[in-house]
């Protein structure tokens, strides 16, 4: 069960000098340093009368300043008088209140995103599917097949959209468990899962550092970036082959060293070879001083579009759901990282992850293990 924010307290008889901690929730306040008696001693003199007045009533809702161990902070106290005459409630750090308000605002924004999808984005393909099925009843032969194919395409679109929206909701959660993970092995897994079409290669600038992360969520972020590069990286229409993609899932336990050196069956090349090759599209992964990047040599992202690429539902492609990069941003934020987009050295798109907890490879000899799935 999640711990409630703030410090649960009791004031016997509503006495402003008494403060008994009932439970320490999620708070920046140091409960061990809070006085149980002579509470007014730590309250700023100018704020003491306001606190006394607030405690005289049946309900308490007051903000004032505390000075504990030489450090001053604004606190917000909310409580109510119980049947015994005691005041019971919660004491919050003002920072806690601000943080809580931000969380509630983010939750509201996500609910609005989902409402938008349900009310508009899902309604359109549903109308297309229903309309074509109704028309199919009036035709014969190939015209029936054509109408049913259109309905099937609309339902496929709805399935993709629902999957992305659910992923967006899941990735908004904070990361609870992380482990030291070999970034290179995650990159290789994600690339094989995507199933890149012929003529698209991955070039990794070694060595990639071990990182502290949730492996499965980082892998999803990389998969979304790889798909984004393939779908948007060249003027020609490239798409992920669903047969290749499904086949890629069966190779998740292959040792990454299988693909070392030169070009492999998965389209992975070493960084030096990539400069001399001439594929349709090259995707690059490399290290930054405080993170890593994913880049490509495709057509890039127009500067006017860069501020909007992470917005849910934003897509420059007619068939795109517009949620892939939003999911990437949510995964980065859940780890405490920042992700930004800029132009790559070759004129394509470059996504940079910074604030990443990099691990010295010499500190551990256990990273790089590919778990069974």
Lowest mean pLDDT among 117-131, 216-230, 251-265, 312-326: 251-265
- The fold of the 6-94 domain, in CATH, is Beta-Lactamase (3.30.450)
Res 336 pLDDT > 70: yes
DSSP characters over 54-78: HHTSSEEEEEEEEEETTEEEEEEEE
Distance separating alpha carbons of residues 45 and 67, to the nearest angstrom: 10
- Which residues belong to CATH 1.10.287.130 in the chain? 97-170
- Three-state SS string over 330-359 comes to HHHHHHCCEEEEEECCCCCEEEEEECCCEC
- Which residues belong to CATH 3.30.450.20 in the chain? 6-94
Considering only the C-alpha atoms of the chain, give the largest distance between any 2 of them, rounded to a whole number of Å.
Answer: 89
pLDDT tens digits, residue range 272-329?
555 556 678 899 999 999 999 999 988 877 777 777 777 765 455 555 455 678 888 8
**CATH class (in words) of the domain with range 175-235+279-363:** alpha beta
Find where tokens 């300043």 sit.
Answer: 65
Give the model's pLDDT for residue 16.
Answer: 94
- Which residues belong to CATH 3.30.565.10 in the chain? 175-235+279-363
pLDDT tens digits, residue range 131-171?
888 888 888 888 888 888 888 877 876 776 676 666 656 55
- The fold of the 97-170 domain, in CATH, is Helix Hairpins (1.10.287)
Res 229 pLDDT > 50: yes
CA 20 to chain centre: 39
């Amino acid at each position: 069960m999640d711990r409630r924010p703030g410090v649960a307290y009791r004031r016997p008889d509503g006495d402003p000098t008494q403060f008994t901690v009932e439970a320490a929730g999620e708070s920046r306040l140091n409960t061990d340093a809070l006085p149980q008696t002579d509470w007014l001693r730590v309250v700023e003199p100018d704020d003491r009368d306001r606190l006394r007045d607030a405690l005289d009533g049946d309900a308490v809702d007051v903000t004032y300043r505390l000075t504990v161990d030489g450090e001053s902070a604004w606190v917000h106290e909310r409580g109510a008088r119980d049947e015994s005459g005691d005041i019971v409630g919660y004491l919050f750090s003002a920072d806690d209140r601000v943080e809580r308000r931000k969380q509630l605002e983010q939750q509201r924004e996500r609910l609005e995103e989902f409402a938008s999808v349900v009310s508009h984005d899902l309604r359109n393909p549903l109308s297309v599917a229903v309309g074509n099925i109704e028309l199919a009843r009036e035709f014969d032969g190939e015209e029936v097949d054509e109408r049913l194919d259109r309905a099937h395409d609309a339902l496929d679109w709805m399935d993709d959209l629902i999957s992305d929206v659910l992923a967006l909701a899941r990735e908004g959660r904070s990361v609870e468990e992380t482990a030291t993970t070999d970034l290179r092995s995650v990159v290789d897994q994600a690339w094989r899962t995507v199933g890149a079409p012929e003529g698209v290669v991955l070039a990794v600038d070694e060595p990639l550092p071990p990182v502290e992360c949730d492996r499965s969520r980082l892998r999803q972020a990389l998969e979304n970036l790889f798909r984004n590069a393939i779908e948007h990286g060249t003027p020609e229409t490239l798409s992920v082959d669903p047969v290749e993609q499904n086949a890629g899932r069966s190779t998740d336990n292959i040792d990454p060293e299988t693909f070392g050196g030169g070009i492999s069956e998965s389209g992975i090349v070493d960084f030096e070879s990539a400069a001399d090759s001439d594929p349709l599209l090259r995707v690059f992964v490399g290290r930054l001083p405080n993170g890593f990047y994913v880049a490509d040599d495709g057509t890039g992202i127009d500067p006017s579009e860069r501020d909007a690429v992470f917005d849910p539902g934003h897509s420059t492609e007619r068939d795109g759901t517009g949620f892939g990069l939003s999911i990437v941003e949510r995964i980065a934020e859940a780890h405490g990282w920042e992700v930004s987009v800029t132009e790559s050295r070759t004129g394509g798109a470059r996504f940079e992850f910074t604030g990443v907890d990099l691990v010295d490879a010499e500190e551990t000899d256990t990273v790089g293990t590919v778990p069974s799935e």
